[in-house]
């Protein structure tokens, strides 16, 4: 059964690899060939238990086993595996999934041999680098025109001498020798030690060492360009740090895309004193950088950490090797942590939480005995996430150092950096470039992961390790800074000259922390989390100049909203006589004003424009553009706000456009008033037991909700007998009024007949009685009919339908010619039950969901508007669409419930395009009524009866086996329509 489950549970793929860890048979041809090579290397396999095979005439011959050998008790290893699967995992399937994932991301023996061969070839080429004569550092005439220096030479003047010479050593560093290198995007790091006579002990000053490092890389590129053993060459920067350029090499031929070799130019061991790069010391002089003298030289901690980072990779590798040798599952634990980071887009770019940091974090947990050396990869990952979730490195940094007291203290690191994680040397903060917002995002993701992993009703494996989380589907609101060159004036206005020197002129990274701090102060309690995109590592040809700082994608910022306060139009500040009042006025500028409130307080306050729900939803946009314009000189034209761009799609109305939320609220309020009056009616033969709405407008999901209308009676004539309104012949046809369906259940009684025709007559009599009572007591215009009662109220028409709970059962009963009672389901009974029981229950349930999540209705309307535009309305019904959207709010893993219509709509599209309807049921746990046992039952029944079930199977607490909402539609052709995927692109 487990193997069958494993084969059926294929879902979302892993990043760009299209890794399928749940479907074992889907292995690429290359991987199959690699596995064959691996098997040839290992030789014939042996049985785990019992006697080994006997080789006779070159063939393996089976050995006859005795009865005792056949029925041996489990070994200690097998018992341990069984116990581990029972205690650590929800089921054995999860254990197998993680094992398959580790197999997919690990390197095969064939790939390792290819890497070793290429590294050996490059190393031999590097040993033949020619020696050149000494020249001025600024003289680059010796470089050919086809190779440029990968460095922004600003300022141009720099003291020092330089000459080219072969490296004194070439060493493999990083994850490959450690055994933690994973797919996709295989990168192997090679440290090339610059000869000591090329450098000078004072090269740490004024960018001399980074420039020599970049020029040395250019010399290596010029030498390697003539080698046929080298494929494509290009430059990049290590985690986007422009002070640490690297040379990327690819093997020639068909293996050019299988991996990348990264060359790092490093100083010789012990060449610089680490104490020179204390975070409080200065290594870039103001007079050199600006041409202006200064009596005070500010510290340059980021510049210092970039130079330190080149001095310590070998020591880091030695430390990690020593730690990993004591823990058998270290490499697998790091691999799982890398996959977790990759799916959240946290492992690449400037200030990322890289795989190296993940390795160091796991080493820290092992070294301080927070995890045991005997733990499995699953346990190591779980404990790593637990540490990240509950330890704030922005306030309480951690250190791996156990060295002398001369190293900087944690307090000194905290004064220079926002996030502190000190390496074993005690001198380098490995999180120097990470912002506090990025670490808060890591904390948030770790906390969410633990929450979902502990939930037995959530597929934790796919939620945590297989589902990508791009910002556009994670954040409720997203905005971008498009013209990054404007950040130069921002740095000038904020007086960030010292920070600009520290970042060597990179005004984007200089301004980013201050923009984040400004937005965090302004947004306050409106957001739970403020995130930003990580600037990707630039890549460019060796024959091109290094790209400018603004030659990168726009900076994106994500807001995870606090629904209770995000849409508030009032920003209430401190009292006018408070010391904080001046700070509040400085923050908001001219928008701040004194106001008296109903409680008598006179305080500073800011009031934003927002009359409709749509406008209130965009209050964060007004706030952000105002703050950026006031404090950072960033005009509104440079801010592209994506959070509310989809609101225009669902605007309705002729004169005043809105998103339909106000209209839906009016319909619900009118219905609530009618419901109360129906409950209080007296004089009916039977009492009313329930009044339930059965119309999408009553659950806020109608794309165009009914708009109250005031009739122009000049367009109508009066019918003589009933005095009903009849459209006039010479006037245009009046506006169609959509009736809002209401189901009114009457109490059970022995007086109800047991005949379907008689029941309908009784219901018709109730419609007449209800109309008379509503007209008598409340003066409503009513029009009874045999099947319903139309009530005109508040410019709306409510269609009341009386229901009897036993009527569907009566429709299923019939008498055979022999006089036997036969109970047989039929379409008429199903339709009546759907109309009078299932749909009203669904409406009331989704109405409650709207109260918990205010954007639920807007997401439904967007989804149904899109379905209608694609001509799918007949296949994906309104009820089905509402349930699909409801699943995004009830089972949001690995996300939080949508906080804006846009993010909910994008997740809806992703659900349609990625969910494996063939092999999995979609469980919509309305009102949280389903337990873990119910989930298991639904999945087992689904697998057993898959061929007879609908194409899209949706299970709810009241419908676990049939999927009544998708029983008739859609068809297989509609479900697999490629337009769903095209819309996402």
Distance (Å, whole) CA 147 – CA 817:
97
Q: What is the DSSP string of 217-281?
A: HHHHHHHHTT-TT---EEEEEGGG-TTSEEEEE--SGGGTTT-EEEEEEEPPTT-S-GGGG-TT-
User: What is the tens place of the pLDDT at every residue in 521-548?
Assistant: 999 999 999 999 998 899 999 999 999 9
Give the burial string for 877-913 (b: 16+ CB within 10 Å, else e): bbbbbbbbbbbbbbbbbbbbbbbbbbbbbbbbbbbbe
User: What is the tens place of the pLDDT at every residue in 292-317?
Assistant: 877 788 999 999 999 999 999 999 99
Q: Contact 240/350 with Cβ under 8 angstroms? A: yes
Mean pLDDT (the chain, rounded): 87
> How far, in Å, are 808, 820, 829 from residue 813 at the CA level?
9, 10, 10
Query: Strand, helix or coil at 690?
Result: strand
In this predicted structure, what is the pLDDT of residue 817?
A: 83
Q: Contact 249/122 with Cβ under 8 angstroms? A: yes
Domains (range + CATH), the chain: 106-272 (3.30.460.10), 471-569+608-645 (3.30.70), 660-851 (3.30.460), 853-984 (no CATH)
> How far, in Å, are 16, 112, 475, 528, 908 from residue 981 at the CA level?
16, 36, 21, 31, 12
The segments of the chain whose pLDDT lies below 70 read 1-65, 67-70, 81-92, 403-405, 643-657, 974-985
H or E segment at 760? helix 756-778
Strand partners, 138: none
In this predicted structure, what is the pLDDT of residue 37?
A: 41
Listed in sequence order, the residues at least 6 apart from 36 whose beta carbon sits closer than 8 Å to its beta carbon are none
Query: Strand, helix or coil at 547?
Result: coil
In this predicted structure, what is the pLDDT of residue 660?
A: 84
Q: From the DSSP assignment, how many helices (H) and strands (E) are in the chain?
A: 35, 30
Closest CA to 23 of 13, 37, 35, 36: 13
169-173/187-193 β-pairing: antiparallel
For residue 387, how many C-alpha atoms fall within 13 Å in the half-sphere facing its CB?
23
In this predicted structure, what is the pLDDT of residue 20?
A: 39
Give the number of residues written for the chain. Answer: 985
Q: Contact 351/438 with Cβ under 8 angstroms? A: yes
Distance (Å, whole) CA 846 – CA 668:
13
Distance (Å, whole) CA 301 – CA 428:
10
In this predicted structure, what is the pLDDT of residue 647?
A: 54
Percentage of the chain with pLDDT > 90?
66
Closest CA to 647 of 665, 660, 664, 659: 659
């Amino acid at each position: 059964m487990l193997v069958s489950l494993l084969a059926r549970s294929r879902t979302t793929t892993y990043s760009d690899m299209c890794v399928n860890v749940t479907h074992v048979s889907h292995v690429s041809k290359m991987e199959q060939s690699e596995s064959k090579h691996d098997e040839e290397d290992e030789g014939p396999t042996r049985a785990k238990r019992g006697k080994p095979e006997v080789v006779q005439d070159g063939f393996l011959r089976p050995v006859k086993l005795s009865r005792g050998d056949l029925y041996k008790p489990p070994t200690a290893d097998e018992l341990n595996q069984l116990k581990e699967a029972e205690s650590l995992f929800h089921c054995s399937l999860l254990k197998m999934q993680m094992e398959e994932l580790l197999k997919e991301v690990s390197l095969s023996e064939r790939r390792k041999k290819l890497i070793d061969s290429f590294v050996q070839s490059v190393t031999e080429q590097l040993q033949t680098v020619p020696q050149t004569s000494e020249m001025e550092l600024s003289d680059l005439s010796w470089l050919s025109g086809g190779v440029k220096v990968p460095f922004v030479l600003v300022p141009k003047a720099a003291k020092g001498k330089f000459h080219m010479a072969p490296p004194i050593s070439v060493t493999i560093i990083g994850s490959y020798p450690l055994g933690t290198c994973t797919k996709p995007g295989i990168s192997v790091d090679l440290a090339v030690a610059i000869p000591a006579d090329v450098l000078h002990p004072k090269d740490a000053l004024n960018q001399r060492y980074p420039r020599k490092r970049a020029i040395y890389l250019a010399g290596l590129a010029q030498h390697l360009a003539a080698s046929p053993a080298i494929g494509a060459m290009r430059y990049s920067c290590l985690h986007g740090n422009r002070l640490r350029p690297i040379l990327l090499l690819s093997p020639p031929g068909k293996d050019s895309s299988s991996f990348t070799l990264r060359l790092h130019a490093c100083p010789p061991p012990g060449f610089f004193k680490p104490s020179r790069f204390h975070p409080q010391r200065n290594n870039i002089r103001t007079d050199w950088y600006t041409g202006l003298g200064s009596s005070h030289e500010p510290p340059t901690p980021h510049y210092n950490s970039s130079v330190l980072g080149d001095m310590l990779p070998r020591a880091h590798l030695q430390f990690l090797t020593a730690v990993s040798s004591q823990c058998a599952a270290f490499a697998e634990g790091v691999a799982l942590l890398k996959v977790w980071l990759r799916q959240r887009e946290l492992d690449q770019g400037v200030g990322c939480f890289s795989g190296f940091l993940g390795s160091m974090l796991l080493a820290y947990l092992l070294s301080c005995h927070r995890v045991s050396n005997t733990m499995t990869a699953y346990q190591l990952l779980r404990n790593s996430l637990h540490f990240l979730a509950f330890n704030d490195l922005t306030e309480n940094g951690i250190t791996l150092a156990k060295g002398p007291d001369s190293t900087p203290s944690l307090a000194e690191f905290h004064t220079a950096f926002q996030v502190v994680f000190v390496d074993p040397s005690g001198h380098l903060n490995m999180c120097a470039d990470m912002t506090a917002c990025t670490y808060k995002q890591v904390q948030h993701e770790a906390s969410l992961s633990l929450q979902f992993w502990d939930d037995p009703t959530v597929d934790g494996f796919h939620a945590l390790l297989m589902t990508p989380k791009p910002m556009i589907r994670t954040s409720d609101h997203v905005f971008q800074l498009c013209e990054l060159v404007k950040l130069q004036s921002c740095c000038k206005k904020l007086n960030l000259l010292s920070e600009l020197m520290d970042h060597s002129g990179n005004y984007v990274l200089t301004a980013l922390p201050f923009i984040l701090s400004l937005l965090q102060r302004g947004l306050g309690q409106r957001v739970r989390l403020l995130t930003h995109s990580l600037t990707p590592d630039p890549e460019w040809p060796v024959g091109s100049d290094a790209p400018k700082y603004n030659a990168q994608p726009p900076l994106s910022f994500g807001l995870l909203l606090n629904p209770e306060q995000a849409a508030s139009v009032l920003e209430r500040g401190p009292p006018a006589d408070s010391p904080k009042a001046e700070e509040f006025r400085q923050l908001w500028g001219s928008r701040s004003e004194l106001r008296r409130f109903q409680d008598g307080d006179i305080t500073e306050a800011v009031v934003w424009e927002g009359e409709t729900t749509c406008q209130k939803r965009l209050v964060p946009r007004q706030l952000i553009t105002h703050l950026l314009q006031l404090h950072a000189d960033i005009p509104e034209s440079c801010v592209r706000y994506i959070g509310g761009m989809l609101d225009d799609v669902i605007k309705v109305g002729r004169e005043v456009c809105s998103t339909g939320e106000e209209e839906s609220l009016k319909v619900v309020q009118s219905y609530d008033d009618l419901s109360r009056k129906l409950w209080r009616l007296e004089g009916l033969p039977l009492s009313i037991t329930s009044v339930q709405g059965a119309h999408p407008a009553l659950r806020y999901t109608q794309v165009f909700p009914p708009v109250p209308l005031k009739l122009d009676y000049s367009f109508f004539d009066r019918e003589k007998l009933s005095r009903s309104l009849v459209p006039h012949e010479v006037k245009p046809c009046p506006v169609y009024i959509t009736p809002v369906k209401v189901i009114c259940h009457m109490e059970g009684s022995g007086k109800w007949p047991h005949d379907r025709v008689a029941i309908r007559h009784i219901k018709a009599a109730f419609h007449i009685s209800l109309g008379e009572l509503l007209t008598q007591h409340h003066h409503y215009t009513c029009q009874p009919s045999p099947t319903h009662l139309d009530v005109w109220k508040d410019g709306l028409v409510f269609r009341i339908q009386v229901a009897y709970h036993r009527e569907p059962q009566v429709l299923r009963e019939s008498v055979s010619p022999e006089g036997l009672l036969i109970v047989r389901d039929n379409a008429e009974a199903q339709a009546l039950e759907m109309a009078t029981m299932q749909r009203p229950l669904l409406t009331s349930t989704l109405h409650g969901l709207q109260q918990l999540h205010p954007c639920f209705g807007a997401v439904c309307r967007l989804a149904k508007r899109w379905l209608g535009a694609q001509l799918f309305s007949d296949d994906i019904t309104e009820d089905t669409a509402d349930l699909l959207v409801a699943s995004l709010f009830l089972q949001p893993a690995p996300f939080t419930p949508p906080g804006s219509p846009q993010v909910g709509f994008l997740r809806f599209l992703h659900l349609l395009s990625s969910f494996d309807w063939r092999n999995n049921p979609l469980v919509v746990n309305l009102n949280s009524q389903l337990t873990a046992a119910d989930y298991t039952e639904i999945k087992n029944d689904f697998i057993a009866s898959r061929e007879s079930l609908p194409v899209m199977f949706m299970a709810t607490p009241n419908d676990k086996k049939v999927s009544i909402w998708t029983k008739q539609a859609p068809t297989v052709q509609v479900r697999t329509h490629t337009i769903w995927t095209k819309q996402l692109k």
